[in-house]
Amino acid sequence: MSTQRAVLARTASRGSGVRGREAQAGWLFVAPVIVLLGLFLVLPVVMAAWVSVSDWTGRGSPFSAEVDFVGTQNYSELLFGGGLATQDFGTALRNNSWYVLLVVPTQTALSLFLAIMVNRKWLRGSSFFRTAFYFPSVTSSVAITVLFLFLFSATGVVNKVLQAMSVSGPNWFADPRGVLHVLLAWLGVERGPAVLTDHAVLGVSLWQWLAGPSVAMSVLILMAVFTTSGTFMLLFLAALQHISDEVDEAAMMDGTTAWQRFRFVTLPMLRPTVFTVMTLGLIGTWQVFDQIYTGTQGGPGKTTVTPAYLSYTASFQSQQWGRGAAIAFILFAIIITMTVLQRRVIRGRDKDGL
Amino acid sequence: MSTTMRRLPATAALAASALALAACSGGGGFDDPAPGESPGGATDAPAGELAVLIGSSGDAETDAVTAAVEAWSAETGVTASVTVASDLPQQLSQGFAAGDPPDVFYVSTDHLAGWAANGSLHPYGDQLANVEDFHDSLRENFTVDDQLVCAPKDFSTLALVINTDAWAEAGLGDDDVPTTWDELADVAAALTTDSRVGLSFGPEYQRIGVFMAQAGGGLVAEDGTTAIVDSPENLAALEYVQQLMTDGVMAYPADVGAGWGGEAFGTGAAAMTIEGNWIVGALRNDFPDTPYRVVELPAGPAGKGTLQFTNCWGIAADSDSPDAALDLVEHLTSTEQQIEFASAFGVMPSVRSAAEAFAAEFPEQEAFITSADFATGMPTAEGAAEVISDFNAQLEGLANADASEVLASVQANLQAALDAAG
Return mean pLDDT, chain A.
Answer: 86
To 10 degrees, what angle do helices A43-52 and B2-26 make? 70
One domain, residues A43 and A103: no
Rounded to the nearest angstrom, the minimum Cα separation between A106 and chain B is 29
Nearest CA in chain A to B419: A83
Same-domain status, A45 and A104: no
What residue in A sits closest to B29 (Cα-Cα)?
Answer: A61
For residue B15, being part of any structural domain is answered with: no
- Same domain (yes/no): A141, A45: no
Same domain, A152 and A41: no
Structural contact between residues B270 and B261, judged by C-beta atoms closer than 8 angstroms: yes
Round to whole Å and give the CA distance between B341 and B57.
12
Residues B353, B385: one domain?
Answer: no
Query: Considering just the CA atoms, what is the radius of gyration of chain A in Å?
Result: 25
Q: Are the Cβ atoms of A174 and B396 closer than 8 angstroms?
A: yes
DSSP A314: I
B8 lies in a domain? no
d(CA A327, CA A190) in angstroms, rounded, equals 33
One domain for residues B196 and B287:
yes
Does the structure's ipTM exceed the value 0.85?
A: no
- The tens digit of pLDDT for each residue in B286-340 reads 899 999 999 999 999 999 999 999 999 999 999 988 999 999 999 999 999 999 8
Examine residue B302 and state whether it is found in any structural domain, yes or no: yes
Rounded CA separation B388/A206 (Å): 24
* Pairing mode, strands B270-275 and B197-200: parallel
| pLDDT over threshold 50, residue A353 | no
A174 in a structural domain = yes
pLDDT tens digits, one per residue of B51-60: 999 988 778 8
Taking a C-beta distance cutoff of 8 angstroms, is the pair B151, B347 a contact? no
| Residues B311, B105 contacting (CB under 8 angstroms) | no
What is residue B80's DSSP assignment?
E
Do B413 and B387 contact (CB within 8 A), yes or no?
Answer: yes
Upstream peptide bond of A300 is cis (omega within 30 degrees of 0): yes
Query: Do residues B400 and B258 both lie within one domain?
Result: yes
Residues A220 and A270 in one domain: yes
Residue B86 near chain A (CB below 8 Å)? no
**What is the b/e burial string over A192-207, where b = at least 16 CB atoms within 10 angstroms of the residue's CB?**
beeeeeeebebbbbbb
Q: Which of A173, A210, A181 is nearest to A291 (CA)?
A: A173
What would the pLDDT profile of B178-215 be if each residue is shown by its tens digit?
999 999 999 999 999 999 999 999 999 999 999 999 99
Q: What are phi and psi of A47, to 5 degrees?
A: -60, -45
Q: Does B144 touch chain A (CB under 8 A)?
A: no
**CB of B41 closer than 8 Å to CB of B86:** no
Question: Considering its fold, how many domains does chain B have in total?
Answer: 2
Q: What does pLDDT average to over chain B?
A: 85
**A57 falls within a domain:** no
Per-residue confidence band for B26, with pLDDT thresholds at 50, 70 and 90: very low
Any domain includes B22: no
Determine the 3-state secondary structure of B22 from DSSP: helix
Looking at the structure, tell me whether residues B124 and B206 fall in a common domain.
no
Nearest-by-Cβ selection for B117 from A6, A10, A57: A57
Pick from B17, B89, B387: which is nearest to A34 by CB?
B17
Domain co-membership, B322 together with B281: no
Give the pLDDT confidence of B58-112 residue by residue, as tens digits: 788 899 999 999 999 999 989 999 999 988 999 999 999 888 899 999 999 888 9
Residue A66 lies in a domain: no
CB atoms within 10 A of CB A2: 10
Higher pLDDT, A353 or B135: B135
Find the CATH number of the domain harbouring A260: 1.10.3720.10
From A328's Cα to the closest Cα of chain B, the distance in A is 17
Range of the domain at B252: 157-308+378-421
Burial class (CB in 10 A: 0-12, 13-18, 19+), B287: middle
Number of Cα atoms under 13 Å in the Cβ half of residue A162: 15
Q: Is there a single domain that holds both residue A7 and residue A118?
A: no
CATH number of domain containing B108: 3.40.190.10
Residues of A in contact with B96 (CB under 8 A): 58-60
Q: B350 and B220 in one domain?
A: no
Q: Report the pLDDT value the prediction gives residue B197, as an integer from 0 to 100.
A: 94
Q: Which residues pair with B143 in a beta bridge?
A: B148
Q: Which domain holds residue A18?
A: 2-52
Say if residue A287's pLDDT is above 70.
Answer: yes
A120 located within any domain: yes
| Backbone torsion region of residue B148, taken as left when φ is above 0, otherwise alpha when ψ lies between -120 and 50, otherwise beta | beta
Regarding whether A328 and A277 lie in a shared domain, the answer is yes
If asked whether residues A165 and A270 sit together in one domain, one would say yes
Minimum CA–CA partner of B17 in chain A: A34
Query: Which of B98-126 are b and which e, b meaning 16 or more Cβ less than 10 Å from the residue's Cβ?
Result: bbbbbbbbbbbbbbbbbbbbbebbbbbbe
Residue B385: CA atoms inside 13 Å, Cβ hemisphere, count? 16
* A179 is a domain residue: yes
Q: Would you state the pLDDT for residue B70?
A: 94
